[in-house]
Amino acid sequence: MRLRYVDATVILAYLIGLTWLGLRFARRQTSTDAYFVAKRSIPSWAMGISLLTTFVTSVTFVAYPGSSYAKNWSLLVPGFMIVGILALVGSIIIPFYRQEVRMSAYEYFGRRFGRPTRVYASLAFAAGHFSKMGFVLYLAALTINSMTGWNVEQIIVGVGALTILYTLKGGLEAVIWTDVVQGIILSTGILICLGYLLFLPPGGPSAVFQVAAGNHKFSLGVIDRDFSQQTIPVLLIYGFFWYLQRYTADQTVVQRYLVAKTDGAALRGVALGATLCVPVWALFMLIGTCTWAFYKLTSERLPGYVKQADQVFPHFLATHLPPGVAGIIMAALIGSAMCALSSDLNSLSSVGVADLLSMLRPEASDRQRLRTGKYFVAGCGIACVAMALVLAQAKGSALSMWFTVSAIASGGLAGLWALAFLTTRGSRRGGYFGIAVTLIFTIWASLTLPGKRVVDLGAWNFPWHDYMIGAIGNLALFVFGYLGSLVWPDRENAGDPLRQVTLWNWLRLSRMHE
């Protein structure tokens, strides 16, 4: 399929504009405080939009319309927990992190359980997000390829290079303000798509909703206690632990807490981002449902090369949107990948500097730390591009692999946070024991998954859906970490206030300072 000149112009103008905006902040990056937390000067509304674009990636563009086209709205169910978890922990965890850490969420884990646990938490975060970066970039390139015919490898290299450039130069401030622009383009693109999908078919919106409702396309799935299937309880459990981890132990989110001017501004920004996520995800679901209704009502046949549900919406964009409009949608798709990639690059760099360099070279000056941070951005970015290029050659289902990775590669960080923050008995060796149990469980479950089995252990195979691995891993770390702490308590640190920073001690100190 040949890309129209107007669409190509829109895409190139957007890429150049986004890169130019990011580079505008280069001169301000004179310290690690500026580079990694923007000197705590970002308005709450901008921070909220940045959080939205952190959660809405090119995976969202592919997964949500594809899922609702093929089945129903069940993939939206985990997203409901993003608001519920925020209501549960937001008013405590946000001011806690703003007071207790300087740059990295894992500073707290190290203070509570020692250096090895801090390193483990940092590496678990890095492994999960590094894998995500490759998937996000690859899926964006694959979708653009299906719409334009552009070479996948060239898209990966070009988009990756521009993102590395402005992230390396502009720091987190560049990341956040390019996120704001992307949020505007994203909203515009969604509304344009829905307008065409609702009014192009014969009968208009009423016919679209009628045929979709008649075929149960708005269903959220089934309520069943069968944990081997993608039921509503499984999706809710997955969503609960996934967003608990994002809010409490994910550097990309904790970093957003730190950039706001005040605790109240941070809470307002996070609340804005969370409340915007569910409507945006629902609109992507609606796009997929309307795409299904369009082809149902028009009886238009899909070409032979469109073999998967994920390919249908991009095909519609390329064939039914007028010149320029399709370019806006493609620009939003590429921009979502760039924003997600830039956010992860800066967060990985901050973890590398705060959690690794600070331990290896504690005497390093701030200038040396800043320079090393930029090296981390460049190195991680190049590795991400390389991973996306490998995926481009793999020819596998990257989307299904990503959902499995997101459930598995959490490393039990939510459980580790709960052990550290919610219990006063949590100890170093107890934490080590919990981590060991979680790693053993995760390896066993991943190798014996139903339908994706590498090792067949018969009755000892993992029996449930792969979305349950992360949830059970977090529970295992908390439970076995607590039991291990009872067996191996930290008697030598029992009276150390720096080690015993828990919810209960923090609340008591907060009341004393009121």
What pLDDT was estimated at residue 449? 81
What pLDDT, on the 0 to 100 scale, is given for residue 401? 55
List, in order, residues 6 or more apart from 62 with CB less than 8 Å away.
139, 143, 310, 399
CA distance 479 to 476: 5
Q: So what's the pLDDT on residue 396? A: 47
Residue boundaries of the structural domains of the chain:
5-394, 411-514
> How many of the other CB atoms lie within 10 Å of CB of 320?
16
Contacts of 15 (CB under 8 A, 6+ apart): 159, 162, 331, 334, 338
Query: 312-320 and 58-70 helices cross at what angle (nearest 10)?
Result: 100
pLDDT-based confidence at residue 398 (cuts at 50, 70, 90): very low
- What is the torsion angle, in degrees rounded to the nearest 10, for the CA atoms of residue 124, residue 126, residue 128 and residue 130? -160
More confident residue, 400 or 484: 484
For position 466, what pLDDT does the model report?
82
Containing H/E element for 35? helix 32-37
Mind listing the pLDDT tens digit for each residue in 453-490? 778 888 899 999 888 888 999 999 999 999 999 999 88
Q: Report DSSP state, residue 451.
A: T
pLDDT at 146 over 80: no
Q: Name the band, by pLDDT with cuts 50, 70 and 90, for residue 514.
A: low
Whether residue 444 is predicted with pLDDT greater than 60 in this model: the reply is yes
pLDDT recorded at residue 357: 87
Q: Residues 260-311: pLDDT tens digits?
A: 989 899 999 999 998 999 999 999 999 999 999 999 999 998 887 777 787 8
Range in 47-51, 134-138, 199-203, 208-212 with the lowest mean pLDDT: 134-138
Residue 100: pLDDT over 80 = yes
Give the HSE-up count for residue 307: Cα atoms under 13 Å, Cβ half-sphere.
3
The pTM of the whole model exceeds 0.85: yes
Q: For 5-394, CATH number?
A: 1.20.1730.10
Sign of the alpha-carbon dihedral angle for 454, 459, 462, 465: positive
